[in-house]
Structure 1
Amino acid sequence: MQTLSVHSFIEDAPTSIAILDEELCFISYSKHWLKEFQISDKDITGKLYYDIFPETPLALKKALQQCLKGKTSSNEGAKFLQDDGKVQWLKWKINPWKMDDGKVGGLVIAQEDITSQKRREEIFLKAQNVAKIGGWELDLVTNDIYWTDTTKEIHEVPSNFEADLENAITFYKAGEHRDKITKLVGEALSKGTPWDTELIIITAKGRERWVHAKGETEMHNGKCVRVFGTFQDIDEQKKAKVKYQAVAERLKLATKAAQIGIWDLDLTKNMLVWDDNMYNLHGVSKKDFSASYDSWALTVHPDDLAQVEIQVDEAVKGLKDLKMEFRIIWPDGSIRYLMGMGKTIKDANGNPTKMVGANWDITELKTAQLQLLRSRESFLGAFENSTLGMAMIGIDGKWLQVNESICKSIGYERHELLKLTFQDVTHPEDLQSDLNLLKELVSGKRDSYQIEKRYFHKKGHLVYVILTVTGVREINGELSHFLSQIMDITSRIEAEKKLTQLLEVTEKQNTSLLNFAHIVSHNLRSHSSNLSMLTGFLSSEEDEDEQRNLITMLDAASESLNETVLHLNEVVQVKSGALNKLKDVNLYKTILNVEKNLSGLLQNKKTKCVVDVPKHTTIKGIPAYVDSIFLNLFTNSIKYSAPDRSLKLVIKATETDEKKVMVTFSDNGLGIDLKRHRKKLFGMYKTFHRNKDAKGIGLFITKNQIEAMNGSIAVNSTVDVGTKFTLFFDK
C-alpha cells in the first residue's frame, strides 16, 4: 500500500485525501489535506489522526471504527456543534484498504470541511424567506461578522470590507436610530430576542438610507452563540412614495410576482410598454410585436379572450383590481398559462389614464395541479376497502367505478350499480340541489362541493349520506369525470337528528383518520428501520450459520410487517367507539413479538432485554393499539440510548387491586428533563433530543391509544440515567 507511486498520487491529489494505518496514524496525505484543514505541521506522517483532529465528532469516530472492521462510510454533509459552541460541517467518504492476506491494513479517507459553504447556504436561504435581499451573520464564538455582497452594496462599502460589531453599529444614524439598534442587539445577545425594524443608516459615502433590518439568534446552553438576519433597502419607498406612486405600485406588483414581466398600458393612447421579461413570456421579440393592447389580445387563447376582456373592462372602470389566469398561444403554437395582476391609475378628475401590472408564467403550476388531480384519482384504488364509499362518476351521471363500501351502503351489487346513474338512486327532493351544484362545478364556478343527501336502498328504505364531489379535469382543462366520497350517516341520523351532533361525530372520524395516518407513518418506519438494519448485517456477514440466523430474523420481521399492515384497519375507528372493540390480548406474547420485530435494531445497540411478565397475563385492548404502544416504547429507547453504554431494557407487569394490570418499561438511556418538558411530553410534534429521526409523534400516539382503551400512562425520568414509563390497562 505504501509505495512511491501511491504516495505521489495521494500527495498531488486535487482533493483532501489521506491514507491511515490500522492504528489511525497517517501513512500518506495530499497537500490539499494540509491546506483544507489549515494544518501548520507540514509533516504529519506517523501521527495519530485524533492528535491532528482532537475535536473529532463522535459520529466520525464511530465511522472510523466501523471502517476498520471492513465497512465503508459516506456522509455528504453533517452539522456538528463543538463543546465551545462552534458549528462545524463535515463531509467524508471512508474506505478500508486491505493487505495481501485480505486483512484490513488501514483506511483511505476523503474529508472536507464545508462549514463556510453551509453557512453561506443558510444565510442565503434565510434571505430568501425574508425578502431575497442582503444577509449578514455574527459568530459570537469567533467574533466574526459576515456580510453578503448585497449588504455591502447597501452600506456602500468595498467588496473586501471586513465588518465588526462596533463599526457595523456606527453605520446607524447617531441618536434615535443608533440607540434603538444598540438596544435591540443587546436584548438579542442577552435574551435571544429577535428584531424586525426600519432604521436610517449613514453609508460609507455619507448618504442617508432607510433600511428594513431583521435579526434572529441561535442559542446554545442558554447562551447566544450566533446572530443572523437580513437588510432591505427601502429608501426609495420611504422618500418618494407620493412623487413616484405609480412606480411604487409597479414595484410592489413586481415583487409579488417574483419580479417577472412588468407592463404599462396607456389607456388614452392604446400604447403598451413591456419589459424584456414580458417578451420572453409571450415567446416574441421586440421587433415582431406592435406595442398596443390589440396586438396583445391576439396572443390570448380564443376560449379565454372574452373572459379576459370582461375582467380588463371591470378593472378600467374601477370595479376591482385586475387579477386573472389565462392562456396564451406562442408563435410556435404551444400554449402557456399566465397569471396577471394590474391596477388602474386615474387622473385628478377620476378618469382612468393607465394600467400598470405584472404577469408571470404558471404553466408548471397548472401542470402540477392537474397531475395532482390524476394522482388523487389513482389513489382511490388504495381505498377499495375503505369504510367510506368512494366512486368515480361520468359527466352523464353514470357510475364508472365504485368500491365495496358504497355497494354495501345502498344494497346493490357492483355490476347492478354500474348500470344505473346517480339520479336513479337519489331521493327526488335532494336531486335538484345536487344537480345545481353539479352545474356550477361543470361551469368552473367551483372546484368541489359537499352536501347532505338521501339515496334509496335497493330494498326501498332511505340511506342518509354526506356527499363530497370534486371535478377531475384533463391537462387541457376539459372536465373528465367526477370524484365522489360518500359517508353513510344513516345510523347517526336515525339516532341523532341535530346537525351539531352529526358534525361532532364527523370531527371525531376525521381526528381518528389523522391518528391512523400518523400510526401508519410511525409504525411502518420502525419496521423499515429493522429490515434495513438486518439486511445490512446480512450483506456484511460471512459466517454461514449467522447468515441463516439473519435470514430467519428477516423472515420473522417480514411476517410482522405484514401482520401490522393487516391490523391497521382496526386502528381506523372513532375514538369514542374504541371501548367496544376491546379484546383479550396476551401481554407477554405481544412484548416478545415486538422484541422480535426489532431484533436487528436491538442487536445493533447490543441491547439486554429483561422481560419479567407472567406468560399468561392478559389485558383488555385493541391488538393493533397494544402492539403500537410497545413498538413506540422500544423504538424510543433505541433512538435515545446513551452512546457510552449498552442499552438495557427492563419490562415488568403486575396485577393491582383495582382490576388493572400495571406495566413498567425502564431503560438506561439519555433520559428526559421533566422540569422543562413534563407539560409537553405527550404533545404532538414535541421532541426533546436532537436525534435526526425524532418526529415528535410517538408519545402523542401512545397516550392517545392507551386512553382510548380506558388506560393511562405516566413517566419518571432522570437525565443521563434513564426513563421509566408506567402503564395501566384493564384486565
Structure 2
Amino acid sequence: MLDTKLDLKKDQIALSFIDNLAGYAVITLDQSGTILDWNKGASDLFGFQKKEMIGKSLSKTSSLEDSKKELHSRIQKAATTGNVTHEWYRGKKDGSVFWAKSIMTKVFDEDDTCYLVEMVVDLSERKRSEEMLELAGEIAKVGGWEFNLVNNTLTWNKETKRIHEVEPDFVPDIVEGINFYKQGESRETIKQVVAQAIDDGTPYDEVLQLVTAKGNLVWVRAKGQAEHRNGTCIRIYGSFQEIYEQQRKEAELAKKSAALEEAQRLAKIGSWEWDTKTGQIQWSDEMYRILDIPENERVDHVNDFYPYVHPEDLEHVQSATAAAVETQIAIPLSYRILTKKGEVKYVNASGTQKFGEDGNPTKMIGTVQDVTEQTQLKNRLDTFWEYSQEMMCFAGMDGYFKKLNPMWQEVLGYSSEELCSKPFIEFVHPDDREATLREAAKLGEGAITVNFINRYQTRSGVYKWLRWSAGSDPYEQMLYATARDITQEIDDAWELKQYAKELEEKNKELEQFTYIASHDLQEPLRTLISMIEIFESQYVDHNSPEAMKVMDYITSSSQRMQGLIKGLLDYSRLGTKSERVKVNCQEIVQDVLDDLAKSINDSRAKIHVGELPIIKGHETELRLLFQNLIGNALKFTREGVVPVVKVHAEKKKDAWKFSVEDNGIGIEEKYYQRIFMIFQRTNSRAKFEGTGIGLAHAKKIVSLHGGEIWVNSNFGAGSEFSFKIPQQ
C-alpha cells in the first residue's frame, strides 16, 4: 500500500491546481466521511455550493439509498486500503442521478493527520452510448466479443451470452468458446481461421453451427479481425450474430458465389448469358478480365463482342453463333481473341440452350476459358514432336503403336499407318522379341526403362539398332517412349573392338619378335666378342698404338651393341610376368639409392626424399622406373656443380603424382617428347654414356600402370620428371 503525504493545512488542501480542473469534482474528507473542502467542479457537478457542504456528510451528495450505502462502504475501504476506484450512480441537488466514476485516495498532512480525497467525473454520456450499443446489439441480435492474448481472457457482451444461452455472469475462456461450435467442420473451421488471424492478421467471416449451453443447434455468423503490435498479435475481436435459415442460405450463397468467382479467376473461366432474341449479353467479371476490359466499360450486346474476335477466326465464330441460334444447339468452339491491350489469346467456348415454360428457347448460357498457356505449350510440344531427332511414340498395353512422330518413317521407312496396323513386336528382330516383351511387361507394372537396346526391321529388310527410354501410365494403359537409332554407334564400336583386337595381336607379335630377335642376337654377338678377345690376345701387336686404337673401338662397339640388345630384351619383357601388388615406394626408392651409393658418393650428390605412399603396382617395374629417373639425375650433371636430387609425391583427386627433380644440364623444350622414344637421345646428352632406352622404359612402365609421364625443364639449370599413377 502506498500512502501519499501531502502538505495539507488544517482547514484547506493545498491543491489549487485540482480546484481548477474543469469538469472534475474534488472533495476533501476526514476519515468519517465529513466534507472538509469542496472545489468549483464539485459545485458544478452536484449543484451544491461549497458553503452548503462543508461539515456535511458525503452521503448528502446522493439521494439514492443504495448509493449512500455504497459511499459509506467506500469511505471505510479507502481509510483502510488507501485507494478505491468505483463506478456507480450518484445523486444531484435537483434529484437527478448520473453515472459517476470515483477515485478515493488516503493522504497525510505534515502532522501525519489522515484525510481522504475523492475525485468524481460524470460518465453518463459514455454509459448511455454503451447501453444504446448493447440495446442495438440485442435488437439486431449482434453480439460482440474480444480475446485478449496478453492476459489470455475472453470477453462476451450480453447478446453474445444470450446467443450461447449462458448465464449473465458466465465468464468464458477460449477453449470453452471454441467448444461451443458444433464438432466437425464448424469447430475445425473456427480453429483454423482464428489461428490464421493470430498468425498473419487475416480477417474472417464464417457461417457456422454451434450448440448452445442448453443443447440447441443454431446457425451463427462469426466475424473477427486481429490487432498486431510490433509483429505480435495482442487481441482478436469481432461480432457474433445469430442468423435464421433464410439468412443462412443467403450467407452460404454469397460464400459460394465468392468461391465460384475465385475458382473462375484461378481457372481463367468466364461465364456468359445471351438472350438470342435481343442479342443482349451478360458477362461474369472473369470475362472482362480475360479480355482485359476495364471495370468501368461494359459489353452489353453480342455485336459488341465480335470486335474482340481475331479477324482470321471471326467468320468461323459468327457462323457457329448463327448455327447455334438456328439449331438451338451450342457448338463447342476454339478460337483466338484480341484483348483490349492488343494481346492475342486462345480460348475454348461452350454453351447450352435454356427454354421457357412454353418450351421455346429463351437464352443460351456458357463459359469461355483462357487456354493461351496450354495452347502455346501444346504448339511447342507439337513442334518438338514434329522436328525431334528422337523417335517418339505412344503405344497401348495391347501391343500396338497409337501415335508416332515423323522420325520413325525416316529411320525405318514405314509410314505411321503401317507401323500402327500390327503389333509392334512383329517389327522386332526375332532374337530380341523375348527381351522386348519382358521389358514391356515391366513397364506395365510401373517400372521405367532406360537404355534398353533391341533391333527393328526396316522396310528394306535390314535391322536397325535402337536404344529406348520409356515410362507408362497404368491407369490409361499407355506406354510413352523415345528411341534413338544407334546402328552407326554399334557398327563403330564393333569396328573399334576389332581394331583393338588386331592391334593387341600385332603388339604381342611385335613384342614376341623383339624378344626373339634380341635373344637370338645375343649368342652370335657373344661369339663375336669372344673371337675379338682371342684375336686381340694372339694376333694384335700391343706395341702398336694404331692397332690397339682399332681394337678398342671394335670392343666398345661390340659392348655397346650388347647393351642395346639387352635393353631391347628388357623392354619387351616389361610387365609380362609380374602382377600388381602393394608397393611401398619409400622402401623401393631407398633400395635404388643403396644400389646407386657409389655414384652418389663419387659425385657428392645431395639426395632429398619426401614422404612417399604405398600404391598398388608392378614392383620390379616401379623399381626400374625410379632407378632410371634417379640414375639419369646423377648422370646428366653440370661440371663443377654438386648434384642435388629431390624425390617427392603429391596426392591428387584420383592419382598419385611423383616427381624427380635435379639441377643438371636440363633439356631443350623441342626434345620433351622425343626423349621418351626408344633409342632417342638429345645433342646435349650425346657426350654421356647410355643406350637411349632408359626413358622409353620409364614411359612404358608408367603406361603399364595406366598413368602418364612428362618433363618440365630449364635448359642448363635442371629438370623435373613427373608421372601420375592412378589409385587402385
TM-score, normalised via structure 2 length: 0.25
TM-score, normalised via structure 1 length: 0.25
Q: Bigger radius of gyration, 1 or 2?
A: 2
